[in-house]
Structure 1
């Protein structure tokens, strides 16, 4: 199931073809209305449209090429449907800011950016839960809620692989092994249905006895281990038994504290797909990780999230014993998050492959990394959004360039899309409204030849 959500573009094309075919049937029945304004009919029913431009002699869509040639820029077009000159414009930071923009705001939402305005990881876990699981009826109630320790990011991160299967449910945070009244209230609102095993609440890591007693009315399952690598191996085994196979592809990250921002990039992906997360550390490959990899019989496909500073070449050499290991590009956490958003391995289908318009993204500041764990649910449902870091809450040159790559453009009608949409998991002290406004503008669909933003 997880692997089907990446075909949005293909499904959109299928709907377009169906619409055109229905239009041809209507014309055959004598229902000819506004053919000159129906661009899909012009392309697909050339014999009936006598006003077709004579330049379209080759029998395929030349309108796009004609518009490019009008400005003599066809040779300068890049792979993203706009000229290099326009790409440079898209990738540029704004020069003239409005100092009054954030004054007297009644809300913090913008048309292309949904902001979750929370200033603590616990609150953000509730915000994300309510965004992804309205729980208004059985079809959008969660199966199982995961209670994870906010002060143990290594175990909480690994638990996100259970968000999709078997649970279809959120991660809510515990603090110091305790469950807050707000989280208990959210748990009651969600009223989890239970997964295939009947489990309604999964408890990750250490929890106080008093906290467990607050869950008496739920069917619970507990997971813990002595260290991060052992915990990751335990969840890998649990998940493999659920799907009745050991997935060959696996993400590798470091459990060391200075690797945290790199490792958390895995969150949205493992919440979305079947790949597990296993840990290495400064000493190399822990025995628990080695044991989990051995189950892949030398056929493991390992994708590493970490620069050479956090996962050294010696560790990669050791991993090669269990299969193939590949490091995702990027010398900083922000760069690697962008590269992973673009990355796609066709053999294993690992990686988001988002290099064209029409996708979702989830932005989190590197100053509040724990938000990524609970925000990983946005990789599971809705826009199926990868995590992209905002370095210290700002937009880097590399991110400006990536946003330019995926910015949608239209030829004739902005209503044809595609559209981008993002989530921003941060309060305005962490990521300002001005940064949000820039993101919103850089995501907006634009005319291919300077017609403006969303206009004709």
Structure 2
């Protein structure tokens, strides 16, 4: 669909190579005071066979044949790595028009701001600590060198809330108090940039980030805005924002235990309401990954997909930090992992369902790839190996085989 406009070919080709270099250097360089402990997981470039061990190259922890790890210690580092993977720099086509700056402590603003990475803005999120710019973010801003977004009057930085203002970059501001108010303001900004309101909106909880997380990846891909609700009451700012879309389809993400029927009753009359997801954070993400309604939704039920996997216990801002990975390259939904060393049965079953196969020539088949977000404490090397195995394309047994 048109909203899935790909980044430049050079960006896609460079993604995995950049990831291996950036993933480890991002670790520990987010918040001030983070320690950077050198380990064999940290890659070295140019190692010769007679001068260093294979471990110095960072494999298999940073990358396997079907997975690539972003090993940041926090969302600040993860976002710095993800944006540079997607926008490796060089010519203007491999650099973003603008970059969105969000306070790392405000996960709701970060989730809602994911929509700004979609066309026409292509403004991925980087994090600041209030008025201060962390080292990883500062280095990323320099490397990205945003060109200026035409759809945002040439702004190079979109500041969401009261956050730091980088020197020598043209800013524009989006302001709002509550999560619902900031989401409404972001939606209005994206609508103005696009020139028309989206015919679809996502309504998610502002109280439980695990249920809201999958929306960030889709918003960054599609340009469908994310609006917030409480468990049993819809804020007036959200109702006002939906009205501006003139009876859109309203996709409510999450079970009725998280977004209750009282919410859907309040939304009645504002548009067609469709509930999507599952009964817990893991199945909710899978349910959203497999759902489709026309050109809405990933519909990832067959082989040949990119996936982004984030620990359920990660910082709530992690999902929007890596949303650009879902909106470029291999594209793909976000999945959650509940334990660092064990593959969830539901996730494993889903991976088996979409596992690629071939009957004669593997090179002509489909392939899956997963981005894993977190260090080896968050996602162990053993779990990474298990995910890799579940993504591997395999020969298909036929009736005439043998």
TM-score (norm 2): 0.82
Where does structure 2 lack aligned partners over 5 or more consecutive residues? 7-52
Q: For 1:387, which of 334, 355, 371 is the aligned residue?
A: 334
Match of 2:322 in 1: 375
Higher helix share: 1
Provide the C-alpha distance between the structure 1 equivalents of 2:158 and 2:298, rounded to a whole number of angstroms. 28
Secondary structure in structure 1 of the residue aligned to 2:301: coil
> What do the CA deviations read for 1:300-342 (whole angstroms, capped 9, x no partner)?
2111112212100111111122111111131011101111111
Tell me which residue corresponds to 1:198.
154
Contact 1:5 1:384 in 2 (8 A): no
- For residues 142 and 119 of structure 2, what CA distance do their matches in structure 1 show? 22
Aligned position for 1:278: 227
CA contact (8 A) 1:2 1:274 kept: no
Question: Matched residue of 2:269: which SS?
Answer: helix
Deviation at 1:188, TM superposition (A): 1.1
Counterpart check, 1:422 vs 2:378: no
Paired with 1:4 and 1:265, the residues of 2 have a C-alpha distance of 17
Distance 1:316 1:283 in 2: 9
Residue 95 of structure 1 corresponds to none
2-structure distance, mates of 1:329, 1:153: 20
Q: What SS class does the counterpart of residue 206 from structure 1 fall into?
A: coil
Trace 1:173-192 onto structure 2 (pairs within 5 A): 173-192=127-146
Q: CA deviation at 1:295?
A: 2.2
Equivalent residue in structure 2 for 1:263, among 212, 232, 235: 212
- Please give the residue correspondences for 1:11-410 in structure 2 after superposition, counting only pairs within 5 Å: 105-106=55-56, 107=58, 108=61, 109-196=63-150, 197-207=153-163, 211-212=164-165, 215-256=166-207, 259-297=208-246, 299-346=247-294, 349-368=295-314, 369-393=316-340, 394-410=342-358
SS of 1:326's equivalent in the other structure is strand
The structure with more radius of gyration: 1
Q: Is the 8 A contact 1:248 1:300 kept in 2?
A: yes
Q: Runs (4+) of structure 1 moved beyond 3 Å?
A: 1-6, 103-106
Counterpart of 2:361 in structure 1 is 413
1:41 corresponds to: none
Report the Cα distance in structure 2 between the residues aligned to 1:184 and 1:228, rounded to whole angstroms.
Answer: 26
Q: Deviations over 1:331-390 (max 9, x none)?
A: 0111011111111001xx111001000110000001113221110001211111210111
2:388 matched to 1:440?
A: yes
| Counterpart residue number, 1:74 | none
Aligned to 2:28: none
Q: What does the per-residue CA deviation read over 1:169-200, in whole Å, with 9 as the maximum and x for residues that have no partner?
A: 32111113321233112211111100001100
CA-CA distance at 1:104 after TM superposition: 8.2
| Secondary structure, aligned partner of 1:356 | coil
Shift of 1:148: 0.9
For 2:338 and 2:222, locate their aligned partners in 1 and report how far apart those are by CA, in whole Å: 26
1:121 to partner: Cα distance: 1.3
In structure 1, distance between residues paired with 2:134 and 2:280? 35
Equivalent pair of 1:145/1:167 in contact (CA under 8 Å): no
Unaligned segments of structure 1, at least 5 residues: 7-102, 451-455
Alpha-carbon deviation of 1:282?
A: 3.1
Partner of 1:82 in structure 2?
Answer: none
Shift of 1:244: 2.2
Distance 1:309 1:104 in 2: 49
How many residues matched?
Answer: 346
The superposition leaves residues 55-104 of structure 1 with CA deviations (integer Å, 9 ceiling, x where unpaired) of xxxxxxxxxxxxxxxxxxxxxxxxxxxxxxxxxxxxxxxxxxxxxxxx98
